[in-house]
Structure 1
Amino acid sequence: MPAYFICTMTVHDPETYLQYTARTPATVARHGGRFLTRGDAVATVEGPAFTERLVILEFPDRASAMAWYDDPEYQSACAFRRAASTGRMILQEGRENTKDPDPKIE
C-alpha cells in the first residue's frame, strides 16, 4: 500500500532552504517516491488560514518511505532544511479500501 509523507514548514532562510530542495529529488526517486505537490499554492477552504509551505510525497509503501527518510544522503540534505525552516513531517499509510473506509474514530 502506498505511504505518504505530508510535510509542512515555515521557511525563514530561502537561500539555505534551496540547498535542501536541490538535493531532495534524486533521493526521493531512488526510493521509488514522487512529489504529489511541492510548495504549490494552498487554498484554505475552512478553518484558520494555512500559511506554511506544503509538500506531499508518495512512496510505494511505508518501508520505502522510511528508507528514503533514513537514507544518509537525504539526512545530509536535511541539515539545510533544519537550518532554514521549522516544520513537521508526518507519515500516513494509504488503504486498499478507498471507497468507504472504516473512519477509525477512537
Structure 2
Amino acid sequence: MIYAYVKLTVTNPESLAKYRDVAGAALAKHGGKVESAAREFTVLEGAPDVPNMAALLSFPDKDAAIAWSEDPELADVHALRRGAGASDILLLG
C-alpha cells in the first residue's frame, strides 16, 4: 500500500463538484481510494501553506498510483481537478 497527499486551493467550486462526481471511479480503476478528505485543519507544527482542501489517497503500489496519474483515459477527470484551482499531489514513497 502506498499513499498520496493531495493539496487543493479551490478557486472554482463548480469544477471541483464535477470532479468529485467522477473521481471515485477514476481512482478505483487503478485500485485507489480516498482514505480521508478535509476542509478544516489543525496545524501541529510550523507555518505551512494551508490549503482549503486536502485528501489522503491510497493505492495498492507506486505503479498503480503512477498509472492513475498518467492514464490518458482519465485526462478529462484530471483536467476537472486542475480546473478547480491549484493542486499538488505528493506520492509518499
> How would you bin the TM-score normalised by the shorter chain?
0.7 to 0.9
Provide, for residues 33-77 of structure 1, a one-character-per-residue CA deviation record: whole Å limited to 9, x for no partner: 121112353211222265311111011100111111122343211
Q: Give the AA of the match of 1:45.
A: L
RMSD: 1.7
The alignment of Structure 1 onto Structure 2 pairs a total of residues equal to: 92
SS in structure 2 opposite 1:81? Answer: helix
CA contact (8 A) 1:44 1:50 kept: no
Give the unaligned 5+ runs of structure 2.
none
- TM-score, normalised relative to structure 1: 0.76
Alignment partners' CA distance in 2, 1:83 and 1:40: 18
Q: Which stretches of structure 1, 4 residues or more, deviate above 3 A after TM superposition?
A: none
Equivalent residue number for residue 21 of structure 2: 22
Alignment partners' CA distance in 2, 1:37 and 1:65: 16
Give the unaligned 5+ runs of structure 1.
94-106
Sequence identity (%): 30
- TM-score, normalised relative to structure 2: 0.85
Report which of the two structures shows the higher radius of gyration computed on alpha carbons.
1
